[in-house]
Amino acid sequence: MFKNVKNNKGFTLIELLAVIVIMGVLMMVAIPQVTKYIENSKKDAYVETSKAYINAVRYALLNDELPESLPEAGGTTTVTLDKVTVESGGEKSPYGKNIQKDKSCVKITASSGADNVEYTYEISITDGSAGTSASTKEKDLKRGSFVKTNAKACGQ
């Protein structure tokens, strides 16, 4: 009377639920890792931008392209970032805001060494949000070297 119909097209509810659970677990692991990777790449780009601005100021001062000059031993000079250009990038902070170049600067401090004057370069970048990067020495520039603070940059 009844024929045994074998029409096995598709997935059972249990199979679908198992796939959804597995995908959920994978997403719980993958999303934080991808977010961390993106944040680290933004920070690395920011560090490279900071180094590029320091080098641009260094070369502009050495070539007398700026009204400022290298300081004498024991002195300091501050150059705002709107006076120099970098080859590429340098427009955004890692927080996605535009860098305010007129409020961001590179501070050069001269100290007398044994035979010559040694220069230390520090950069402070304001991005237009509530934060400013902390003044960071060139030798200390690395992924975790900037901090979002409420301090005023470059004495402004």
Residue 132: what pLDDT? 55
pLDDT digits (tens, 9 = 90+) for 8-42: 678 899 999 999 999 999 999 999 999 999 888 88
Is pLDDT of 131 > 60?
no
Residue 46: what pLDDT? 80
pTM: 0.73
Residue 27: what pLDDT? 94
Query: What is the secondary structure of 46-96 as a DSSP string?
Result: HHHHHHHHHHHHHHHHHTT-SSS-PPPTT-EEEEEGGG---SS--SB-TTS
As a whole number, the mean pLDDT across the chain is: 81
Residue 17: what pLDDT? 96
Is pLDDT of 6 > 80?
no
**Mean pLDDT, range 72-84, rounded to an integer:** 88
Residue 7 pLDDT level (bands cut at 50, 70, 90): low
**Contacts (Cβ under 8 Å, ≥6 apart) of 32:** none
